[in-house]
Structure 1
Amino acid sequence: MASMRAWPRALCIVAALAALGPGAWAQGPAAASSPQLAPAKLRYVQGAWVNLSESAQSQARVVAQVPANTVLQQLTERDGWCAVLYAGDARLGPPLPEPLQAHVACNLLADQPLTLAQAGKDAARAFWVAPSANRMRAYGNALPRPPELQLAALIKSHPPEMPVQYPLRAEWEAAKKLMRAGVPLRPEQEIDRGRPVNPLDNVKLATSARDNIPAVAPLASKPVLPALSPSYFRNHASVALLHETGADGLTAVAGARISVIPTKVPYGSFNRHNGPEIEFVTGFWDVGEANLAFAPALTLYAITHQGLVGARTLGLRYWDISNADHYCGGHYPGKGFDDPRNDETTAVRGYAKVSESAEVLVRLVLPGKLPPDAVKVKTQRYATSWMIPAEPPERPKPQRKASAVLVHEIDLDRDGVADILRIDTPSPGGMSFEPIFEWRWYLNINGQWFPAGHWVDQECT
């Protein structure tokens, strides 16, 4: 077995990068050109799951398979084939005991690591560029299903609730192993709030869905936003709201690792409004149910209307990957992380006891600690109303229903500058004409408002 000391200097660079993991890859070319080391031609795999072959032939024996952004040292190039040295990849396991010489098509290599933007909609490449729970889900859903496991065939061959067995795939087994062990995430890859906005642009009063019902009355006065300047959050990595992002975004901002722990195989199911034939298969590829684990546990802060601050830690949670369509009721239209129950979390000492039924204005995760008594909340009310039509005998005459747009200004450090804004906009329910609300959150990031998720209410039959 060759020792590290006997390897060429350039190969030592490859081994070191492989041991450090994907976060160090972008440093590769710079390190290689250091005055102290001889130049090395480091190349980065561009395909999602690439074969390294014994010889420069398409039918040659495969000696290893590697994911996107694996670091290789190119030795030679001839007739479209590159001879390379491979020292291992931290995402697949420890470094190899000695380097492996192999061949790979040169068009699958590049001088720079692949980025998420370059991966685009290729779910497999995106996962290996930046492994995460959500990208794992997209990866599993994108794997090509055999004809017998496609929905049209399963409807004929599988009764509802029967397990669906998928074939083993080396690339998917590697992805599951990596995510079970847990990965760190980068906020800039998980949090994207777009451009600054004017929160009042989304204050639109909906009218009734029924014919001949008068429109919602205009607001008694126009909402006014608080004076804005840089305050608590200086960049987008400073905070994540549960209302705007999924587990990946929360984990990235908290600086934790996230794991995906499969618990059951997929099975065919059906929607109760379109049954009883199979309508979807739970989960993604062979992961039918799973838990998400966080290390260290996430600290979730809850701020009430009165400014009370509650804090609970979340270490393990069931991941809803049922694939069932949303039917009705209040929900987050985007990536919002459903509020955890108290039996899923552990209370943090020194913070207010916030019950599950308490009126919570916002839930958030921070890189550091939020003081338990520093928050100030100011709520502005702007009255509006609409008519509820007569429906004898219960309602012999039309009635006017009063409601209001509520603007909640949340000042995390009591410096007089709002750090979080929540705007509650009412509209008449389509059946009862009682108020149903849309809540929208905004974050003051270095003196500008950015959208941070929304929640909508719906009446259900």
Structure 2
Amino acid sequence: MRLRSVCSVAVGLAGSALWVHGAAAQQTAPEVRHVQGSWVNLREAPRADARVLAQVPANTVLQQLAERDGWCEVSYRGDPRLNAGGKGALASPLPLQAHVACNLLAPAPLALVQAAKDPARAFWVAPSPKRLRAYGNALPRPAALQMPALIKTHALGAEVRYPARPEFEAAKRLLRAGVLLDPTNEIARGKPVDPVADISIPGVRLALKPIAPSRFKRHGEVALLHDTEADGLAAVAGSRLAVVPTDVPMGGHNRHNGPEIEFVTGFWDVGAAYLVFDPPLMIYAITHQGLVGAQGLRKRTWMIDNGDFYCGGHYTGPGFEDPPAGGGDELVNVKGYARLSDTAQVLTRLVTATALPASAVAVQARRHPKEWTIAASPPEVPQPVRIQTAVVAYEIDLDRDGIADILRIEIPSKGEMSGQPVFTHHWYLNVGGQWFRAGHWVDQECT
């Protein structure tokens, strides 16, 4: 009997020991943590002056092993974003154990909306060319490379050499290797609108067909070249998008000022670059006759000169210039689609998640006459001139189901200098049976 009691106690103690051991193991099991800072130091010891073993960007995944006095001991097994194309290096081999301030870690990764105000974090949360440019422009310039000093030390057109920054070098490596983009991060058209109420045209009220759901059910299914940049087009098409730097920054000036340096091309140490699409970006063109053309764009020169806009036709928001934009483009016509001439009246260019048929689409043009008089001004204008033009709404039905999928509205106005028509162009997309703004182009008279 006594022996049984001793055995029972021994078993009980053993069970207690096993429970305590299990609880301790449960408490010390690694927990997944995500880096919240933009370029965080992983240190050899839990001190702010300890040797840095590695630097990691936002949303790097770490395994937390322990926590004490505001420092977290972590295990780091690498980040494929930092080894893009098989390049990149660390001060210590992987995996490594290190220490990091616990307030720089969180259980969940950052979303783009949380990081949007910090260009560095925004890039690492959702890498893209647009965010690479914002990242480079936000890096602090040394005093010698700020504009007041450059005007004194650099000749117009001279190279401007920026120092290499480890975090930006890593970002460039990642973009050179190419990234796939998420349409939900790149396509933002705001709230639905009524085009008739959205555009105020004195003396004209547009007449449009009733809208209903048609070809496009989600924003990520389509992008017009008029309403987004390369990031949005590549995201919709599913193309991997790369940035290949080709030159260093140069000093420049607006053509109506100078000759001193007034801007520096590019962003940080990237003065010029190519945008490369893999597979090539399939760009469809719809003419006023309903013809469908298609071209594959593999490479385009990225226009990043940073000069102030002076005058001329331009998109008032994001936009991707209609091809061909210059000698750097690699653009080929796609067999089976209409071969469009350089003079063809193209109403819209777009990229879609699913292929457009090569057959013609339905286009209905609704004209609303508009006119004005140019007063006589001898000797150039010996007598008054009557200008007759029209507001035109083009309803483009891609799948011929009787419901417009794209709307383009051309609005003429009297040029301030010549009196001749100057046009603005508005595009709208039917997404899920509602109209959304999809780009705005403005013509301007220039001297």
Same fold? TM cut 0.5: yes
Question: In the TM superposition, what are the counterparts of 1:135-284 in structure 2 within 5 Å?
Answer: 135-205=131-201, 218-219=203-204, 222-284=205-267
Match of 2:332 in 1: 346
Question: In the TM superposition, what are the counterparts of 1:244-393 in structure 2 within 5 Å?
Answer: 244-341=227-324, 344=329, 345-393=331-379
Q: Quote the Cα distance in structure 2 between the aligned partners of 1:63 and 1:171.
A: 15
Shift of 1:402: 1.2
Shift of 1:396: 3.1
Shift of 1:226: 1.1
Structure 2 SS opposite 1:183 = coil
Q: 2:61 aligns with which of 56, 61, 71?
A: 71
Match of 2:392 in 1: 406
Structure 2 SS opposite 1:155 = helix
Shift of 1:459: 0.8
- Which has the larger displacement, 418-427 or 319-328? 319-328
Preserved CA contact (<8 Å) 1:77 1:83: yes
Match of 2:422 in 1: 436
Structure 1 SS opposite 2:426 = strand
- Which has the larger displacement, 95-104 or 443-452? 95-104
After superposition, the Cα gap between the structure-2 partners of 1:238 and 1:158, relative to the gap in structure 1 and judged at 3 Å, is: same
- Which has the larger displacement, 229-238 or 194-203? 194-203
Q: Which residue identity is paired with 1:82? A: C
Q: Which residue identity is paired with 2:185? A: Q
Q: Quote the Cα distance in structure 1 between the aligned partners of 2:199 and 2:392.
A: 10
Q: Quote the Cα distance in structure 1 between the aligned partners of 2:240 and 2:173.
A: 14
Is there any run of 5+ residues in structure 1 with no aligned partner, and where? 1-37, 206-215
Preserved CA contact (<8 Å) 2:391 2:409: yes
Q: Quote the Cα distance in structure 2 between the aligned partners of 1:173 and 1:415.
A: 50
TM-score with structure 2 setting the length: 0.90
Q: Quote the Cα distance in structure 2 between the aligned partners of 1:110 and 1:394.
A: 71
CA displacement 1:192-248 (0-9 Å, x = unmatched) = 00000011224334xxxxxxxxxx7x23xx311211110000000110000000100
Q: 1:110 aligns with which of 106, 111, 118?
A: 106
CA displacement 1:154-189 (0-9 Å, x = unmatched) = 001101111111111110110010000000000000
Match of 2:401 in 1: 415
Preserved CA contact (<8 Å) 2:59 2:125: yes
Q: Quote the Cα distance in structure 2 between the aligned partners of 1:319 and 1:228.
A: 37
Question: In the TM superposition, what are the counterparts of 1:437-456 in structure 2 within 5 Å?
Answer: 437-456=423-442
* Cα RMSD (Å): 1.6
TM-score with structure 1 setting the length: 0.87
Q: Which residue identity is paired with 1:56? A: P
Match of 2:46 in 1: 56
Match of 1:85 in 2: 75
Shift of 1:40: 4.2
After superposition, the Cα gap between the structure-2 partners of 1:39 and 1:365, relative to the gap in structure 1 and judged at 3 Å, is: farther
> Identity over aligned residues, as a percent?
61
Preserved CA contact (<8 Å) 1:54 1:62: yes
Preserved CA contact (<8 Å) 1:341 1:356: no
Is there any run of 5+ residues in structure 2 with no aligned partner, and where? 1-27
Q: Quote the Cα distance in structure 1 between the aligned partners of 2:299 and 2:185.
A: 23
Q: Quote the Cα distance in structure 1 between the aligned partners of 2:219 and 2:377.
A: 51
Preserved CA contact (<8 Å) 2:288 2:345: yes
Q: Which residue identity is paired with 2:104? A: L
Shift of 1:82: 0.4
Preserved CA contact (<8 Å) 1:259 1:294: yes
Structure 2 SS opposite 1:103 = strand
Shift of 1:374: 4.1
Preserved CA contact (<8 Å) 1:203 1:425: no
Structure 2 SS opposite 1:417 = coil
Q: Which residue identity is paired with 2:80? A: A
- Which has the larger displacement, 445-454 or 326-335? 326-335
Shift of 1:69: 0.2
CA displacement 1:283-318 (0-9 Å, x = unmatched) = 000000000000000000000000000000000010
Q: Quote the Cα distance in structure 2 between the aligned partners of 1:257 and 1:198.
A: 35
Q: Quote the Cα distance in structure 2 between the aligned partners of 1:429 and 1:249.
A: 33
Structure 1 SS opposite 2:136 = helix
Q: Which residue identity is paired with 1:237? A: G
Larger Rg over CA atoms: 2
